[in-house]
Amino acid sequence: MSQENFRKLKRVFAREFAATLVALALIALVKAGLIGLVPW
Amino acid sequence: MTNATETLSAPARAGANHHLAGLAVLGGVVLLAKVAHLLAPQVPAIVYALGLGMLAGLEARKHRVRVALPHQLPLMLGFVLMGAQVQQGVFHQVGLEGLGLLGVWVAATLVLFWAASRLRLLPRRVAALFALGQAGFGVSAVVAAGARDPGLAGTPQTLATLLILLTGAIGLVTYPFAAPWLGLDEAGFATLAAVSIANNAEAIATAGTMGAGAALGAAALKVAINAFEGVALVSFLRGRGADRGGRPRRWHDAIPRIPGYVLGFSLVAGLSLAGAFDGTERASLANLTHWAFFIALAGVGFRTRLDLLARVGWRPLAVGIAIWLFSAGALLAWLVTTT
């Protein structure tokens, strides 16, 4: 894999990792009872 | 100097407007889809999101409006949050027979699409993406693979999304009539819907036409198959990487090859299996997952290039539907003869 492609892949990975952090933050809010039962 | 600043800032401004326009369009489509679902809840909400997104996308391209809807963050959020639904009890509920049927379905789907690509009935990339979606992982896996591998975005992703939608629609319309006529009980019907319909929402909605028990059974099977979605995606992307001769050189090169959302999913699934969530919390997280996928699929619909179909033709879809009809027919025959 070229250096350029690897850099791109790392950027994609960082974005995916950021999404995971947002999800964990949401989970923490649910656990803390700050988000009640979200209506669907 | 002023000129230079202007030429530099103009694209940046356009970029900001572009994002705002994307958010506005996404919000509009999501709102419309939610209202449509409230008015006619028989059709799963994500079908409205995808369908209305597709219509909006066609309109936008007709008028040459170029906006991209921010769908990747909600998609990945939904993926990670889905981990909270993985529980040991689910595997007990599904049982060995259910897991076995899931395994056979996945294997048969892979073999049939591989054969179709060898027989040149389908282009390789399209066959691979069809197999990933139809094995039971649905639109979320197809889009997640496309986000990682630009070679799959565009035509293959459009075709795979349409195939999943079409086969789901066929199941939703025909299964409720076929089941009583063939004498399937609730458990058999739940298995038929969950194994052969790729998207969670459509599978559970189809099973729900027979009653709450069938819907619960289908939901358990879907949770079981979703638990393997991360593994499926990593194997799929590895296979695609090997196709192009890419190989990690050092150990830390390998980390970005496992998508970040798969790591997140595994982490949350691990927490869930360790007993981190009680019933209410799990229900809350399930609803958040619903919203995340709902919003993401409106954006996916928007970028689904229906206009490409005219160029590619209906043949790949016809092949995909024929393979699905064959496998779903075989599964139905098995369920009818064993129950």
> How does pLDDT run across B181-218, given as a tens digit for each residue?
888 998 999 999 999 999 988 898 899 888 888 888 89
Residue B8 pLDDT > 50, yes or no? no
- The tens digit of pLDDT for each residue in B240-254 reads 876 665 555 555 556
Residue contact A38–B256, C-beta within 8 A = no
Question: How many Å lie between the alpha carbon of A36 and the closest alpha carbon of chain B?
Answer: 7
CA B61 to each of CA B54, B272, B308: distance values in angstroms, whole numbers, following the listed order: 11, 43, 12
* B114 shares contact with chain A (CB less than 8 Å): no
Identify the closest residue of chain B to A32 by CA–CA distance.
B281
pLDDT of B96 over the 80 cut: yes
- pTM for the predicted model, two decimal places: 0.81
What is the predicted ipTM? 0.89
3-state SS, residue B327: helix
